Amino acid sequence: MAAPRPPRFDAAAAGVAAAADAAADWAALAAAARPCVACPELAASRTHVVVGDVPAVGRPRLALVGEAPGAQEDLTGRPFVGRSGALLDQLLAEAGLDRAEAAVLNVVKCRPPGNRTPKTPEVARCSGWLRRQLELLDPPVVVALGLSAARWFLGPRTVLADVRGQPHEIGGRAVWATYHPSAAIRFGPAGAPRAGLLADLIAVAESLR
């Protein structure tokens, strides 16, 4: 399957794509992304652009891609550091995966007000950053956490229940779609999302051996 394409471009999305493509490395991309104002509503309400975390050295074994920063992520400037991040770290460890060896990214880099779902134009405008991040980092495996991330890779009509539990080859990478940790929290420790997320992370770990 071909690499993902974002929703319809507007001038702001094209500007982001050009700035992202011009970044020669991770540091240059992060410096270009932090002052981004392509989405005026998000730029006006954010504290930080949450560019993402990458391993200290070397190519990441995998990339974990969520939807957008939450409140704690916006305050700290780092992805998955709130309750969802704590659960993600726990389940990664249970699956035998090390977060320090992963890139941790989001489809949208700024927190939507009230943690609402990112709007289609916001996803389109931010897509250039994520596409370039994946090009620069070149992870062999991507884990799309939640429906918004799954649809970024697999298309707007994706149904999570239909695509999870197996890898999908997208742009030369194995993309696994699974539940977002926030869904696992909502449904509790005995809920299907938590069990499914752990099972999928274990399958990802086995595929990396």
- Give the Cα separation of 184 and 206 in Å (integer): 22
Q: What is the mean pLDDT of residues 91-120?
A: 97
Residue 194 near residue 90 (C-beta atoms within 8 A): no
Q: What is the mean pLDDT of residues 113-126?
A: 95
Asked whether residue 39 is assigned to any structural domain, the reply reads: yes
| pLDDT bracket for residue 102 (50, 70, 90) | very high
Over residues 10-21, the pLDDT tens digits come to: 899 999 999 999
| pLDDT bracket for residue 42 (50, 70, 90) | very high
Query: What is the pLDDT, as a whole number, of residue 6?
Result: 47
Asked whether residue 182 is assigned to any structural domain, the reply reads: yes
Query: What is the pLDDT, as a whole number, of residue 10?
Result: 86
Q: What is the CATH number of the domain that holds 129?
A: 3.40.470.10
On the question of pLDDT at 4 being above 80, the answer is: no
Over residues 30-41, the pLDDT tens digits come to: 999 999 999 999
Task: Supply the DSSP string of 18-67, one letter for each residue.
Answer: HHHHT--SHHHHHHHHTT--SSHHHHHH-S-----B--SSS--SEEEEES
- Give the structural domain span for 59: 11-207
- Read off the DSSP letter of residue 101: G
Residue with tokens 């090390």: 98
Q: What is the mean pLDDT of residues 57-65?
A: 96
Average pLDDT taken over every residue of the chain:
95
- Give the Cα separation of 116 and 50 in Å (integer): 16
Say how many domains are in the chain: 1
Asked whether residue 2 is assigned to any structural domain, the reply reads: no
Residue 75 sits at the vertex; the CA angle it makes with 70 and 78, to the nearest 5 degrees, is 70
On the question of pLDDT at 113 being above 60, the answer is: yes
Asked whether residue 6 is assigned to any structural domain, the reply reads: no
